[in-house]
Chains A and B, each alone.
Chain A
Amino acid sequence: MADALPQHPDFLWRNPEPRASYDAVIVGGGGHGLATAYYLAVNHGITNTAVLEKGWLAGGNMARNTAIIRSNYLWDESAAIYEHSLKLWEELPAALDYDFLFSQRGVMNLAHTLGDVREGTRRVGANVLNGVDAEWLDPQQVKELCPIINVADDLRYPVMGATYQPRGGIAKHDHVAWALARQCDAMGVYIIQNCEVEGFLTAGDRVTGVETNRGRIATGTVGMAVAGDSWDLAQSAGIRLPIQSHPLQALVSELFEPVHPTVVMSNHVHVYVSQAHKGELVMGAGVDGYTGFGRRGSFHIIEEQLAAAVELFPIFARAHVLRTWGGIVDVTLDASPIISPTPLDGFYVNAGWGTGGFKGTPASGYTFAHTIATGSPHPLNAPFTLDRFETGHLIDEHGAAGVAH
């Protein structure tokens, strides 16, 4: 039997009217905004804050993603921040007192070419040196961990091995947002939905407030975490970001008995699959090639990922697609995030997590809160500031961490 879901909870936070001013305002009520408010309160004692969300809480990418969590990135800077994130994930169910179904069922990144094998074994080596749990699996070991996968060599792209991170897994993304929101609310944070930030108030080179569709709110400190809307909104503060927004789609099947025990990702044939607790197969693939804000993408992306999925998992041939949807992801040129002060004093940006920021939610909030509270980056996010585009110290995670990120 698939696992029973926890009872749907009662309202977990108030829906207050905005006040005239706050010590800090977080723009965006997705995972990153909420985690930032949470760590501002818990780590820095800053609770006179508001999270402003233009729609409903976690209506953006937070509850649209495929919920994969892992930390097996190639470069030291990435491994450090994503591994910190994974460690925070391991603490959060207890800290938030909420079982959001964090399941460390392992994550596999398949290799289908000699190039993939070389990249994967190199990454396993780098991970081990960085204290990240990582193993290289041969095709037989892949089959043992995930019996439904086809490791025969008559495929167009046979499985030649895989990287495996046992501590990786999935979590129930909407419950993560609710868990964070409940704790924020309990600590006095104002979570204000249906409140769109339309512009910023400034005096000289300082931010002094935000203009919203529910009036002006004064604050000397703004943290922006609006994912796909980052370029546009930062622009209204006079800050230019090296970000392009793309549609990224995902889909689910109907509910099945548990058949898929882990998480399988393939960069080369381009699909990633897990089975949610309640039984749906959850799949995703790459971004649509064009930029856009339509929260929908092109059908061929779905068609191609299903072709890849059925080849790898012949048992899926009789499953049906129940729903598809899209989110708008904020992509940087080096596929790494930006957690940074800006030339506008008091205005901080957290953006560019692109296709892979769910796993980063805790560390994103942790380091962004530090940056906001102290005015300068935490050692974990110091490499991820806007400066890197000028110094040339990019953190290129394209492809390096399995699926281009």
Chain B
Amino acid sequence: MLLIECPYCGPRDETEYRHGGQAHVPYPADPEALSDREWAEYLFYRDNPRGMLAERWLHTAGCRRWFNTIRDTETYEISAVYPIGAPRPDTAAEAPPGSAAALSPAHHAKGDPAARAIASSGSHARTATAHTAPASAGSPAGGSAAGDPAAPGESPASHPTSEGDER
């Protein structure tokens, strides 16, 4: 059971919350200009790193407000809680938008496979920029730099697995 600190109500059990998926995925500025690939990226593609992930939570059984956390997806430790609309605390300063680091899927350095990245030329390391990813969608730092989503819960992939389960 995670203990999650709502910025408005204080620490509460995980069962009071709903996980809202990756944070900082802005609604496309000009949706009609997107290619099918870019639209798919916005709808269906989200980061899923081992390590630090900026993600949203909804305090459903409390104040019913949204907020963001930085959580380590291996240890489940939450290292930052911050309001919707605020920049991601651990990356905002490090990586200007569009820089290699900002686009890196392996932005989480600690214990990251990037440490095992292949140095030789002609090989893709785990820090490689994705072939198919459009320049900013889906990259956490790129997303936050572009401004926060207009309204949380607006991005359809916010809860891909709410009913997911089974065998």
Which residues does A use to contact B, with CB under 8 Å? 65-68, 198-203, 208, 211, 231-232, 235-246, 248, 265, 267, 270, 272, 284-287, 289-294, 298-300, 331-333, 335, 343-344, 354-356, 358-359, 389-391, 398-399, 401-405
Number of interface residues of B (CB under 8 A): 56
Instruction: Judge whether B160 and A300 touch: CB under 8 Å.
Output: no
Instruction: Judge whether A290 and B19 touch: CB under 8 Å.
Output: yes
Instruction: Judge whether A405 and B125 touch: CB under 8 Å.
Output: no
Measured CA separation A238–B117 after assembly (Å): 13
Chain B hits for A248, CB < 8 A? 165
Most A CB atoms within 10 A — which of B40, B116, B123? Answer: B123
Contacting A at CB under 8 A, from B106-141, are 106, 113, 116-118, 122-126, 128-133, 138
Measured CA separation A391–B37 after assembly (Å): 9
- Residues A232 and B118 in contact in the complex (CB < 8 Å), given A272-B166, A291-B48, A404-B163: no
- Residue of A65, A199, A332, A404 touching B116 (CB-CB under 8 A): A199
B30 within 8 A of A: no
- Residue of B2, B36, B39, B164 touching A287 (CB-CB under 8 A): B164
Contacting A at CB under 8 A, from B32-85, are 36-37, 39-41, 43-50, 53, 55, 71, 73-76
Instruction: Judge whether B130 and A235 touch: CB under 8 Å.
Output: yes
Distance in angstroms from B128 CB to nearest chain A CB is: 5
B1 within 8 A of A: yes
Which residues does B use to contact A, with CB under 8 Å? 1-2, 13-15, 17-19, 21, 36-37, 39-41, 43-50, 53, 55, 71, 73-76, 105-106, 113, 116-118, 122-126, 128-133, 138, 157, 160-167
Instruction: Judge whether B40 and A390 touch: CB under 8 Å.
Output: yes
Instruction: Judge whether B124 and A287 touch: CB under 8 Å.
Output: no
Q: A211-B123, A239-B131 are in contact. List 12 more A-B contacts (CB 8 A).
A: A236-B124, A236-B126, A238-B124, A238-B129, A244-B21, A245-B48, A294-B76, A298-B2, A331-B160, A335-B164, A344-B131, A401-B166
Distance in angstroms from B57 CB to nearest chain A CB is: 9
Chain A hits for B157, CB < 8 A? 333
